[in-house]
């Protein structure tokens, strides 16, 4: 208990104590943040304004863009502000908020990636039942479940991390408040409790990962049976971006959280933290839009101000809500 201190603020890792390099860090993070902001806002605007994109796939994609915006907004502005004003401080309440919100957005993000895999599975493997299964009510229920379920999960991590006083130091060897770094300064019983929560979390994420893998095994088994080569190509083009985003999310997260936490920061640790915290929200809009003609067309309409707000007839809407039905229409 003699080593125990009352922490009211934390000191984050600074990229450099040289003023010119601090301003360079600010400029680089500002460029990354603006790229993520513009890219995700464009996806949200295109999906919201173009009635042709009011389908389950793009509805889930819009939610994913909102979550990506939240993830990067929790971390990057504070780091930029610290570099600009030459400080390392973050308040205790600010650190708690960062941990809670980062886990909330990341958890909901992976939940939506799992839902999107299910959506692709139904669209390709059960196209005749797509409109019945992925109706408006089902999509809203799945979305609400993804958002709401992330709250107790992030509260569990946050509450366990901050439930005991911190010992020895208030220095965080990371440019934002991250649980592994915080646990280094908490008491051992808190650390053991967090290990149990991490094991529980790994099991949940493993279940979702297995669900995604099984879905895509079924999808890649069904695609060769589609008679049209053009339809096969379109089916693959809707799945490949999702697989890339899932792989990027998992690889960066695993590299950051499953490696041993070092008491002395290295350049490799810094690069890994930047990759898993900043890279996915920045590149996800590019990955989803790069080979998606519908988003490109919708983006062109938004830029030219030609987006139509007129209602889509129910007859044509049934085809738009289940585009993969057309793939099997020749059976």
Task: Convert the pLDDT of each residue in 156-173 to its tens digit.
Answer: 888 888 887 776 678 888
Q: Has residue 2 been placed in a domain? A: no
Q: How far apart are CA 72 and CA 177, in angstroms?
A: 13
- Residue-level pLDDT at 59: 94
Mean pLDDT of 98-124: 94
Q: How far apart are CA 235 and CA 223, in angstroms?
A: 7
Query: How far are the Cα atoms of 44, 59, 64, 67 from residue 111, in angstroms, in the given order?
Result: 18, 14, 10, 11
Task: Convert the pLDDT of each residue in 286-310 to its tens digit.
Answer: 888 776 778 878 777 777 766 554 4
Residue range(s) defining the domain that contains residue 152: 9-328
Q: Has residue 306 been placed in a domain? A: yes
The band of 68, judged by pLDDT with boundaries at 50, 70 and 90, is very high
Tally of structural domains, the chain: 1
Query: How far are the Cα atoms of 111, 118, 210, 211, 273 from residue 207, in angstroms, in the given order?
Result: 11, 13, 5, 6, 25
Q: Has residue 304 been placed in a domain? A: yes
Q: Has residue 98 been placed in a domain? A: yes
Q: Which region among 9-18, 54-63, 66-75, 108-117 has the lowest average model confidence (pLDDT)?
A: 9-18
Q: How far apart are CA 9 and CA 94, in angstroms?
A: 9
**CATH for 199:** 1.20.1070.10
Q: Rounded to the nearest 5 degrees, what angle is found at the Cα of 19, between the Cα atoms of 16 and 25?
A: 55
What's the whole-model pTM score? 0.85
Q: Has residue 1 been placed in a domain? A: no
């Amino acid at each position: 208990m003699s080593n125990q201190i009352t922490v009211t603020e934390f000191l984050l890792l600074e990229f450099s104590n040289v003023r010119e390099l601090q301003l360079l860090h600010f400029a680089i993070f500002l460029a990354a943040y603006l790229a993520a902001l513009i890219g995700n806002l464009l996806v949200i605007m295109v999906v919201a304004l173009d009635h042709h994109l009011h389908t389950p796939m793009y509805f889930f994609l819009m939610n994913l863009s909102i979550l990506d915006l939240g993830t990067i907004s929790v971390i990057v502005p504070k780091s930029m502000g610290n570099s600009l004003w030459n400080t390392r401080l973050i308040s205790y309440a600010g650190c708690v908020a960062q941990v809670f919100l980062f886990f909330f957005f990341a958890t909901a993000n992976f939940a939506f990636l799992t839902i999107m895999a299910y959506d692709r599975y139904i669209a390709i493997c059960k196209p005749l039942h797509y409109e019945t299964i992925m109706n408006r009510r089902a999509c809203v229920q799945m979305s609400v479940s993804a958002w709401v379920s992330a709250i107790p999960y992030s509260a569990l991590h946050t509450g366990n991390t901050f439930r005991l006083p911190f010992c020895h130091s208030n220095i965080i060897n990371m440019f934002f408040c991250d649980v592994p770094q915080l646990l280094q300064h908490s008491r051992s019983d808190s650390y053991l409790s967090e290990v149990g929560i991490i094991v529980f979390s790994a099991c949940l994420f493993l279940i979702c990962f297995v669900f995604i893998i099984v879905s895509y095994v079924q999808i890649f088994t069904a695609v060769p049976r589609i008679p049209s080569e053009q339809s096969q190509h379109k089916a693959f083009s809707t799945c490949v971006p999702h697989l890339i985003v899932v792989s990027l999310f998992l690889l960066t997260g695993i590299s950051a959280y499953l490696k041993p936490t070092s008491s002395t920061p290295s350049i490799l640790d810094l690069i890994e933290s930047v990759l898993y915290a900043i890279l996915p929200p920045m590149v996800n809009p590019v990955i989803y839009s790069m080979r998606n003609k519908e988003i490109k067309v919708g983006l062109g309409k938004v830029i030219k101000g030609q987006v139509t707000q007129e209602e889509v007839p129910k007859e044509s809407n049934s085809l738009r809500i289940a585009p993969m039905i057309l793939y099997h229409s020749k059976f």
